[in-house]
């Protein structure tokens, strides 16, 4: 049974997180007309019942109260004007940041395409050089096997395609709320691990190739694959024998999890076999290795 899923906002509230604008509740109360604390309101009612005016000796008269209320009204008006003026500025700044994100994403994509072309040219030159000797041909076969394992070369062939997506707004259950029918990073993590366990030789999500060190994470409401945001529907392509993959994946822990989410939260989930899928090479890997500490072994 799948427990009720909580989105990032619900988890933050459960952990005691407080909204940055929580301190603005006083201003909100003022705009709503709640000008006085209940204690002040009660005191004002008692004064009105006793005659409505105050004696001298440091107490305000009725005219003084009106003056204070008039000053409070002026402050409210000024605050309202400032809030309204700040709204277009915030919207303009947000639009500028979105434009910058799109521009930087376009530049990154262009650089990635250039890198792919240069890698292809380098691969052809290397293959031609290695073909000139028997030792080179053996090295080429070894390199090809290692490149396939590291997702450094494109891959193609038959396989299984699994599609998951958020539940439609009109089909979400009341207990799931808006967040219950959403696809989260842990759902994709479980799906990918299930496909690897079923015997997949290569996997990609929405055309992005996965490597042994690929990270699937969440940032806000976006799912990131190697720090690149993806949008639904999420199409996970696994290369391998379609029938064997389907039989091994069906009934697995990942399959049961997604089917339970589909039944309870109406998330969209389905599988299909394909005879010809293509996955690009993954991006350049950052090599990490261990080294002995200075003085080790002494």
Separation between Cα atoms, residue 241 and residue 252, nearest integer Å: 17
Separation between Cα atoms, residue 8 and residue 291, nearest integer Å: 39
Q: What is the pLDDT of residues 44-81, one digit of tens each?
A: 667 666 655 444 444 556 676 777 788 888 788 777 77
Cα 120 to chain centroid, rounded: 32
Q: Which among 195, 230, 166 is positioned nearest to 5, based on CA atoms?
A: 166
Q: How many residues does the chain have?
A: 298
Task: Please give the structure tokens belonging to residue 165.
Answer: 């997506």
Q: Does pLDDT of 87 surpass 80?
A: no
CA 243 to each of CA 176, 200, 206, 266: distance values in angstroms, whole numbers, following the listed order: 34, 12, 22, 27
Separation between Cα atoms, residue 160 and residue 118, nearest integer Å: 31
Classify burial at 201, counting beta carbons within 10 Å of its beta carbon; exposed 0-12, middle 13-18, buried 19 or more: middle
Scored b (16 or more CB within 10 A) or e, 210-243 reads: bbeebebeeeeeebebbebebeeebebbbbbbbe
Classify burial at 57, counting beta carbons within 10 Å of its beta carbon; exposed 0-12, middle 13-18, buried 19 or more: exposed
Q: Does pLDDT of 149 surpass 90?
A: no
Q: Does pLDDT of 22 surpass 50?
A: no
Q: What DSSP designation does 199 have?
A: T
Separation between Cα atoms, residue 54 and residue 60, nearest integer Å: 6
Separation between Cα atoms, residue 66 and residue 252, nearest integer Å: 74
Separation between Cα atoms, residue 256 and residue 163, nearest integer Å: 15
Average model confidence (pLDDT) for the chain?
78
Q: Give me the percent of the chain exceeding a pLDDT of 90.
A: 29
Q: Does pLDDT of 4 surpass 50?
A: no
Q: Which among 280, 273, 247, 244 is positioned nearest to 158, based on CA atoms?
A: 273
* Dihedral pair phi/psi, residue 159, rounded to 5°: 180, -165
The reported pLDDT for the residue numbered 19 is 47
- Strand bridging mode 234-239 / 155-165: antiparallel
Decide which of 169 and 15 is more confident.
Answer: 169
- Cβ count near 197 (within 10 Å): 13
């Amino acid at each position: 049974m799948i427990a009720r899923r909580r989105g990032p906002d619900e988890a933050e509230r459960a952990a005691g997180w407080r909204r940055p604008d929580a301190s603005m509740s006083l201003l909100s109360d003022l705009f709503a007309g709640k000008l006085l604390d209940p204690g002040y309101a009660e005191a004002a009612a008692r004064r009105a019942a006793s005659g409505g005016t105050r004696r001298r000796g440091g107490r305000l008269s009725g005219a003084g109260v009106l003056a204070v209320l008039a000053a409070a009204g002026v402050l409210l008006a000024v605050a309202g004007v400032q809030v309204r003026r700040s709204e277009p500025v915030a919207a303009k700044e947000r639009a500028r940041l979105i434009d910058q994100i799109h521009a930087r994403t376009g530049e990154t994509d262009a650089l990635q395409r250039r890198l792919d072309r240069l890698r292809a040219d380098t691969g052809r030159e290397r293959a031609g050089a290695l073909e000139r000797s028997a030792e080179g041909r053996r090295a080429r076969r070894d390199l090809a096997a290692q490149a396939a394992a590291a997702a450094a070369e494109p891959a193609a062939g038959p396989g299984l395609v699994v599609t998951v997506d958020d539940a439609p707004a009109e089909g979400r259950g009341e207990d799931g709320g808006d967040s219950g029918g959403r696809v989260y990073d842990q759902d994709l993590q479980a799906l990918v691990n299930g496909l690897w366990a079923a015997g997949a030789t290569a996997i990609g999500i929405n055309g992005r190739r996965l490597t042994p060190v690929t990270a699937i994470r969440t940032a806000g409401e976006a799912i990131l694959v190697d720090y690149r945001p993806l949008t639904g529907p999420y199409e996970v392509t696994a290369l391998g024998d379609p029938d064997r993959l389907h039989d091994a994946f069906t009934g697995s822990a990942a399959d049961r999890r997604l089917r339970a989410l589909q039944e309870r939260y109406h998330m969209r989930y389905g599988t299909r076999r394909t005879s010809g899928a293509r996955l690009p090479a993954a991006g350049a890997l950052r090599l990490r290795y261990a080294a002995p500490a200075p003085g080790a072994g002494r």
